[in-house]
Structure 1
Amino acid sequence: MYRLYVDEVGTDDMNDLENDDHRYLSLTGVAMKTDVARDDLTPKFDWVKKAVFNQDPDEPIIFHRRKIVQRKAQFGVLNDPIKLDLFNRAMLKIYKQCDYAVITAIIDKLEASRRDKWKEKHPYHYLMQILVEKFARFLVRKNSFGDIMPEGRKGKKDAALQVAYDDVRGKGNYYFPPEQIRYRIPASKLKIRYKSDNIAGLQLADLLAHPSHMHIRACNKHPVSIGKYADAVIGILAASKYDRSSQGRIAGYGVKYLP
């Protein structure tokens, strides 16, 4: 049984698209067996939280990339070079050794807005439909089954995402029939959870989503800046973690760039 943990980078609105901060949206899914998430990833994350941050068992630390980068709250201890080195080495080791596959779909909303066939599409929902299809294909190759756990955005946005999920389960898409999607992903409801739920798989998706987003943009000749640590994360993704065909092809499997 696999679970696809999903997080986003960017915004889903269609305003100020000439600004690069608003132009691109990506969804990253981390496909992992549920027993691996429970028995391997969670204990490893807990070790880091204890060793680096001296985690209080009654006040769990939740990994959040933006707060880590900004050294906010508990992550202020990373201003200590020794703590930072331990954290970076431990996390890179986890990224490399844990068993999971990454699928990232990214859309250039400005370019999409210029094409008639995209004008009625909601960017977040469309990317989720792409992830559902790619995850179903992954499950076929693994001869397994799964469900999907996105990080929730509260209220109407979560309800609208469920509608988009219902749509792709009901209709499939041009490339993949709905019967196969429903067979491989039998749950009719998304397992929407939130940061406060302290789910290791969602935290992993949060930590990998931004490096993956920037890597795909760099591959498409965008003028992005990638730091040394992010480059190390990207190296791990490219070497072994992006989903890929039996011939090793990543494009169309672990990475999808739109439109």
Structure 2
Amino acid sequence: MSFDACLSGSRFLAFFDECGDHSLVKINPQLPLFLLCTVIVDRQAYAEHVIPAIGAFKLRYFAHEGINLHSRDIRKAEGPFTILQNAAVRERFMTELTELIAGMPVTVFATAINKNGFVARYGHEARNPYDVALEYSFERVLHFMEAQGEAHLPVIAEARGKQEDDALRASFYNLLSQGTYYNGAERFRKLVCPISFRRKNDNIAGIQLADLCAHPIARQVLRPGEANRAYEVVAPHIYQSGRVNGLKVFPK
């Protein structure tokens, strides 16, 4: 089987999105963290359930399925989501969106970097939060893949610009070739994870799911005492196997 055929026949697909920025120079006091969210889904379930379900949901509210379910626009009722300024429509929309996410056959991995604590601990030696989040997340993804007996995992990330994408691609392949402090290179090198970047207007359902999961998790990390209905829906999807938890917060 050729390399391309092997990847097109992989059992799982992975999708990245993020919440917050990774700057350590200007830290937003309203969102002083960077969170990387990874959603893994069985390819067949993605084709037969995820894509049709998301398309059907959109068509209940919009004239076409090309609308991108972007959590920020939904929260602020901006762009095509100005319809949510109507309280009754918003309540119905959010209830159905919650039910949609609850029924998604996905496994979620998320790493949140507390930027103030990160800078306080490492100072000028602090690494790029994206790189750190990638390592912690993929240590857990590695555990998942080994448990499933799978090695091939195409990764689709949201494009952020050529320079940023090139830097992430380099960091990602360095991780796969060098491993981490706790997980050696010999384990990571068994994974075959080509990464590709798609923009929001490509309307990738998996990236939208990662986006919709990322913000509730970030809110939960920042304000764990607040009511967070969206997180309650996402939480059951977060990977948990023995002592391995798919949600990592660093530093605590």
CA contact 2:137–2:248 (8 Å) conserved in 1: no
1:256 matches 2:252: no
Per-residue displacement from partner, 1:205-224 (whole Å, max 9, x unpaired)? 111100011112234x7xxx
Give distance in 2, aligned partners of 1:129 and 1:117.
20
The one-letter amino acid of 1:235's match is E
CA contact 1:53–1:77 (8 Å) conserved in 2: no
CA contact 1:6–1:151 (8 Å) conserved in 2: yes
The 5 Å alignment of 1:49-128 reads: 49-55=58-64, 60-116=66-122, 119-128=125-134
CA contact 1:242–1:254 (8 Å) conserved in 2: yes
Give distance in 1, aligned partners of 2:31 and 2:232.
26
- Tell me which stretches of 4 or more aligned residues in structure 1 moved more than 4 Å: none
> How much does 1:168 deviate?
0.7
CA contact 2:54–2:205 (8 Å) conserved in 1: yes
Aligned residues: 240
The one-letter amino acid of 2:179's match is G
1:16 corresponds in structure 2 to 26
Unaligned runs of 5+ in 2: 1-10
**RMSD of Structure 2 on Structure 1 (CA):** 2.0
Give distance in 2, aligned partners of 1:109 and 1:85.
34
1:172 matches 2:169: no
> How much does 1:21 deviate?
3.2
Give distance in 1, aligned partners of 2:91 and 2:52.
20
- TM (norm. structure 2) is 0.87
1:233 corresponds in structure 2 to 230
The 5 Å alignment of 1:135-146 reads: 135-145=141-151, 146=153
CA contact 2:178–2:188 (8 Å) conserved in 1: no
The one-letter amino acid of 2:217's match is S
1:28 matches 2:33: no
The one-letter amino acid of 1:8's match is E
> How much does 1:44 deviate?
0.9
1:192 corresponds in structure 2 to 197
1:201 corresponds in structure 2 to 206
CA contact 2:14–2:40 (8 Å) conserved in 1: yes
Give distance in 2, aligned partners of 1:173 and 1:48.
40
CA contact 2:21–2:33 (8 Å) conserved in 1: yes
The 5 Å alignment of 1:215-234 reads: 215-219=220-224, 231-234=228-231
Q: Secondary structure at the match of 1:150?
A: strand
CA contact 1:27–1:128 (8 Å) conserved in 2: yes
Give distance in 2, aligned partners of 1:166 and 1:244.
26
Percentage of pairs with the same residue? 23
